[in-house]
Structure 1
Amino acid sequence: MRLFQNSGLYPSYLAHLNQLAAKASSFAERRRIFMDDRFGALHFLKPVLEQEPEAFFTNGDDEILQRHWAREQGLPGKPTLETILLAQIEHHRTEVFYNLDPVRYPSAFVSKLPGCVRKTFCWRAAPSGNADLTAYGAVLGNFPSILESWRQRGCRAELFFPALDPLMDEYGHGERTIDVLFVGGYSRHHTARAKTLEQVASLAGTRRVVYRLDASRLTRLAESSIGAWLPLQKHRRPDAIARIAEPPVFGRQFYELIGSSKIVLNGAIDMAGTDRGNMRCFEAMGCGALLVSDVGGYPDAMEPGVTMETYGSPREVTEVISRCLRDWPESAEMAGRGRTRVAETYSKASQWKQFGDLVAGV
């Protein structure tokens, strides 16, 4: 199978990558630096991670990366990123196209794919406005309610899961000096999450609580010296959060931070109803921390009270965390069970087999 996997980058991660790859002067070198950093690796299929010759990977929205390839291949002028991506697919003689960035490259893009492409898939586990993905062979995701919404819009939709990065095995075997870690986005759209973070931040006086937050542009402006004079109060973080907030972390730095933490706090945002199992769940358990997350329906291996803990409200979360830390030897055993169960259930080998079954069935 000649597999082509396309992904995309968060703006805040792109800035991080540009620092890591500041001296990279070729497509291969910049891509290697990205892949070595492991950002998004839970979504990358086994042949991509293992750099098998029939698998090709790129970030189609990374202009620096893509223009390296265009120059190296002698594409004339200044082609669009879409033109470059189509040229890469044709050059690779792709048979199966798997796109992690389908809102940027929707059905209109699929209609332009070269004739060598036989099967098309995309991953989408978030609301997508009016995006048209009906031309894809199947929309993949791990939230049943969102998959059902795609079916109602005329798409074939199939359940599919992230898989642990094998490199996670290297992390989390030393002392865990951080009591509670939260890494994620913060904006006025994260209402429920903000209340939870504020409650847990109150533990910072007696526990080591670390927040690495990717704040919105308006939040950063609101908290600046200029922002203090602007009507942006609703975008400012509560003092308890702002006092301990640090910049976001990504990739291997993120793995290292989870591996140094006893508890990883997670809070879903209102996009998938009661479905749970966002990326943070897999990342936390994969690096051996105890996942403490909000009540809902979790995928196999994520079993409240057995492999993870849940809370029902922002008020309850501090009670759950305090109990887990007070009884840490028992909590550590639960985290260990979680790590083992998730590793057994969501391996790269099983993910690749499931993908192969989808290819055969679509």
Structure 2
Amino acid sequence: MEEILVQSSTNTYKISIGESLRLQIKQFLNKEYSSIMLVTDDHVAALYLNEILENLPNDQVFQSIVPAGEKSKNLQAFYQLQTEAIEFGLDRESLIIALGGGVVGDLAGFVAATYMRGIDYIQMPTTILAHDSSVGGKVAINHELGKNLIGSFYPPEAVIYDVETLHSLSDREIRSGYAELIKEALISNENFFNTLLMVDIYNVPNGGLQAHLQQGIKIKATIVEADERESGVRKYLNLGHTLGHALEAELGYGKLTHGEAVAIGLLFAIHVSEELYSIKLPFNELVQWFTKNKYPINVTDLDKLALINKMKSDKKALKSRIQMVLLEAVAKPVTKELEDTAIENYLISFERRLMEND
């Protein structure tokens, strides 16, 4: 088992990565809780819920199951979970456990952050993508006008990452997770990026997957410790997310997975970087890797004005000006404010470039 410590402004929490950790959950509870509310989705519940319940020490354990998918990360699901927490009798000494992917983690974490002004929660990620979202204490729900616009910074008490739960992932979920690993490599570690370019993501042995996750989590943890509330270097973790979030909101949540949208956003960020700074970055190499690993990157006929409006409503925008994370080189990220007309032109040339690579 690998352990990584993260120091936040309010607490130090441990990220534990290994096999069969879901069966050892008692050892990760640092104190006694008056009650426990376990939040998961209907897909994960069918696979792991009973195992978790059998290994919880508390008699007062409740469960809440939401529909799987990004569409559950909304105000209605948030309100329903708050209602259930009240009906279950949770108090300020209660614990919420988020068992699932990024949707469950963000949703349950935001419930924990706001229930009675904040109670403890633990992240138990079950997807590759959630290696990123479960670390750093950003919790949120979506608004139809933009992704993650309603949320908070609220660190967990622990992150328990049982890699055995990754065996049941679909190809789409594997793609989604590896896009975030590629992002982390692009902003901080060229060797890691080159290593990932050699990977067939659907045939990674357990040891290799765990090594990739540890590397990605260490990158994320280092950045989060340096800038917990995203006033500086933490913004670099948004590489690929300006267009990625806009695509998710414009196409409808669930049409693309988060990671699939980010993959397109990464290519766009690299394209803009090359054009703006007159440099050569691994655009073609990344297109080939995404294509080999079956990412749906050939988006065409984009509504560019609609996407620009979505980008301007993104939480990373400043005074309605689009702020993008770009690259001066691999592992050398920068932030740049761009005018609408520039973004529109870049979208046109980006779409043309993708068609030429098809």
> Normalising by the residue count of structure 1, what TM-score does the alignment of the two structures yield?
0.31
> Normalising by the residue count of structure 2, what TM-score does the alignment of the two structures yield?
0.31
Q: Which has the higher helix share?
A: 2
Larger-Rg structure: 1
